[in-house]
Amino acid sequence: MEAEAVVLLEPGSLALPGGTAERFEGGDFGVGLSYFLVRTPPGKGPAVHRHPYAETWLALEGEATFHLDGGEVVVGPGTTVIVPAGAWHGFTNRGAVPLLMVCLHDSPRIIQEFRDQDG
């Protein structure tokens, strides 16, 4: 059996318009995991949304308020947040510096449904 080639993606190669996030969809590479690497400016964050699979975040820098099915929790560097499939959620950078997080999606494709469909 021949080994598959290693794939290296250069920093910035997955950047989304606006420059605050990178998006990796594992299905494009035969991988069952996807992620966002986000650099969220102070006071900003995604609209409330949900996924048909669990999502896990790892906060690396900054501080965020997570909005989780009607409740809120504040997290800082090193905190892991796990949201179950189907749960409405979002977050806001509550600090004065950019928030750096990895958002892991347990799916080869990122599937999002926004509460406000204009999301």
Q: Is residue 43 part of a domain?
A: yes
Extract the tokens encoding 84: 């179950």
Q: CA 12 to CA 35: how far, in whole Å?
A: 14
Residue 98: predicted pLDDT:
95
Q: Is residue 116 part of a domain?
A: no
Mean pLDDT across the stretch 94-116?
Answer: 96
Q: Is residue 16 part of a domain?
A: no
Sequence-distant (≥ 6) Cβ neighbours of residue 36 within 8 angstroms: 21, 22, 23, 24, 102, 103, 105, 110
What strand order describes the sheet that includes 34-40?
Answer: 21-24, 34-40, 99-105, 55-61, 80-83
Extract the tokens encoding 92: 């806001």
Q: Is residue 1 part of a domain?
A: no
> Which domain, by its residues, includes 92?
25-110
Q: Say which CATH number the domain at 74 has.
A: 2.60.120.10
Q: Is residue 61 part of a domain?
A: yes
Q: Is residue 11 part of a domain?
A: no
Q: Is residue 101 part of a domain?
A: yes
Mean pLDDT across the stretch 80-107?
Answer: 96
Q: Is residue 51 part of a domain?
A: yes
User: pLDDT band at residue 18, thresholds of 50, 70 and 90?
Assistant: confident
